A = this chain, B = another copy of it.
């Protein structure tokens, strides 16, 4: 198997007014109060439709791409935890308990040092104070031929889109108007010109868009 490594944004939930997260992240509100963005999201199928005792629908099939062929992820600090400033000694190991869905190396972008955190299922969080391009170079090494997922939050995805480092985006445009929150599109005027874009509306009301770089 020889192919280019792709840099992917998988299953980015966004409102029709362009918000991909709410306000301040807290332990109780990991998406900053914008949980409605995930109301139609079935997390059971991100690793494949075999993981859920549920009908196999178009939304679930599209969701299942999340886990296909990805060898490493890069995420912003807010996706890993609600803390600010230097990391404390609070034993925080992420939002996901002892079976995080990633099962690959994950680079967490943070200005503050933190030792790596390992899980038995293959997930390893590495903390890096690095530019988007430098973090990506390391993630490609860690991915061992798999794709690299830019996992969010929205400001991290924006950084990678702005620097033209993304090959594929799967947007799940939810039929909701948030009116506030973290914009996915701020500062990205014209970004669509770099991609071929396919849109598919599912009966659930979601529009899935697949952006593939020219």
Contacts and interface: CB of A to CB of B under 8 A. Distances in A.
Interface residues of A, number: 35
Interface in A48-82: 48-53, 55-58, 61-62, 64-65, 68-70
B202 A56 contact: no
A172 to B, nearest CB: 12
- Summarize A's interface: helix, strand, loop or mixed: mixed
Contacts of A170: 56
- Count the copies: 2
Contacts of A8: 56
A52 B198 CA distance: 18
Given A210-B56, A212-B57, A51 B64 contact: no
Residue from A8, A69, A196 whose CB has the most chain B CB atoms within 10 Å: A69
Contacts of A6: 56
